[in-house]
Amino acid sequence: MFRPVLASRVLRRNAARHLVAGTRRVSSVSEQATEDTAEAPVTSAAETEDKVLDATVPEGKPKIVAEVERAGGDKYIEWERTKITLAHLRTMKRYRTPISMLTAYDYPTGLACDASRVEIVLVGDSLAQVCLGYDSTTRITLDEMIHHCKAVARGCKTPFLVVDMPFGTYHGTPEETFHNAVRLVREGGAEAVKLEGGPEIAHHVEHLTLAGIPVFAHLGLMPQRAVQLGGYLPQARRFHSAKRLVEHALVMEQAGAVAVVLEAVPPEVAEAATSRLKHAFTIGIGAGRGTDGQVLVWDDMLGNSRGRKPRFVRQFAHLRKHVDDGIAAYVNAVRRRTYPAYQTSNMYSMDSDQSRQLFAEWMERTRRGLATENATTEGENEPSSDLESQTGMKARG
């Protein structure tokens, strides 16, 4: 049986009182929340975080704008496009509206996600391989993640922004994990952090949650542990491993995780985990349609990646072919001097005919002066006699 390493009941109660007490911006709501928290027992960090969220965001639920029919005949709710919050995402889970999540790595991809209807943007450590050319996600450093997260945050204003904690930044003490997570939030501009692992990191999840940093857990295929897992292989395919994954998802929710990413697991296992979780929503990648949402890597989704792609990836565009064709056409135009075109309207011109004439005269004088100088130099270098010429040729030979 797997148990998380949780704080004591007294610690949880005191932390809950402290967090709720900080919500006095809305006096009537916060006072009621404080009384409720003081009287009711606090059973987990997840319930504590829920109460704080309800107290601080009394009107945080999005407005319904339309009902859209799916291919199967059932309907889902389309929401008003506002700043995405955890309250928004939980409401989508409650109404069974699928959540879309996409990776981004720089300012342009952040802008593109902000202009779309993506709810969650993940600055994933997959950028180690996609953008930086590393052979593994374990190579990327905390400073590199912060650098890319800052760029995405400058362009991504509406979606909820999550960042991966790099390998080795959450495997020490809870205090060290907290320090690293604070850097990602404060310097990088992230709103939540994502950690790979199960009960062995539950105490880190709880520590971050009680400190006010939302946590996304990651189960199933964990790329940071690919060597230990024997490669990038599907997980939870046997009874005991499937049961263990569902139990681990419950442990992470109890520790305070607001979401659980399930990667490369059978659809029935992901659906079982999703149905058992009461508060946390699930995001699937190669886990079937039964999760609360889906996530894909930017380059995989747009068909811009090179090499072998996972079997679950669907390419919604084919940018790589367009990119390769565009580069080849540009190089060919430069070689043939068809770019830039001669005397086209998009070329810059001099401000007047007089300036053009003065510049042409100056260039002509410069050309004549260079011609005279070259002739003089050539005359000085000529041998004075045939003997000197022969001698010089022999010396050079």
Active site residues: 263
Classify burial at 33, counting beta carbons within 10 Å of its beta carbon; exposed 0-12, middle 13-18, buried 19 or more.
buried
Asked if 174 and 195 count as a contact pair (C-beta separation under 8 A), the reply is no
How does DSSP assign 292-324, residue by residue?
SEEEE-HHHHTT---S---TT---S--HHHHHH
Asked if 134 and 154 count as a contact pair (C-beta separation under 8 A), the reply is no
- DSSP, collapsed to helix, strand or coil, labels residue 68 as strand
d(CA 91, CA 85): 10
d(CA 11, CA 138): 34
CA distance to 56, 57, 92, 281, 353, per residue, from 86 (Å): 12, 10, 10, 10, 64
- DSSP, collapsed to helix, strand or coil, labels residue 176 as helix
Closest listed residue to residue 99, CA positions, set 283, 314, 290, 269: 283
| Residues whose CB falls within 8 Å of the CB of residue 9, separated by 6 or more in sequence, listed in order | 41, 42
**Torsion angle (degrees, nearest 10) of CA 216, 219, 223, 225:** 110
Structure-token pair, residue 162? 């999550």
d(CA 43, CA 362): 86
| Residues whose CB falls within 8 Å of the CB of residue 130, separated by 6 or more in sequence, listed in order | 105, 297, 298, 299, 305
Angle in degrees, 0-180, between the axes of helices 202-210 and 239-255, rounded to the nearest 10 = 20
Closest listed residue to residue 55, CA positions, set 97, 22, 88: 22
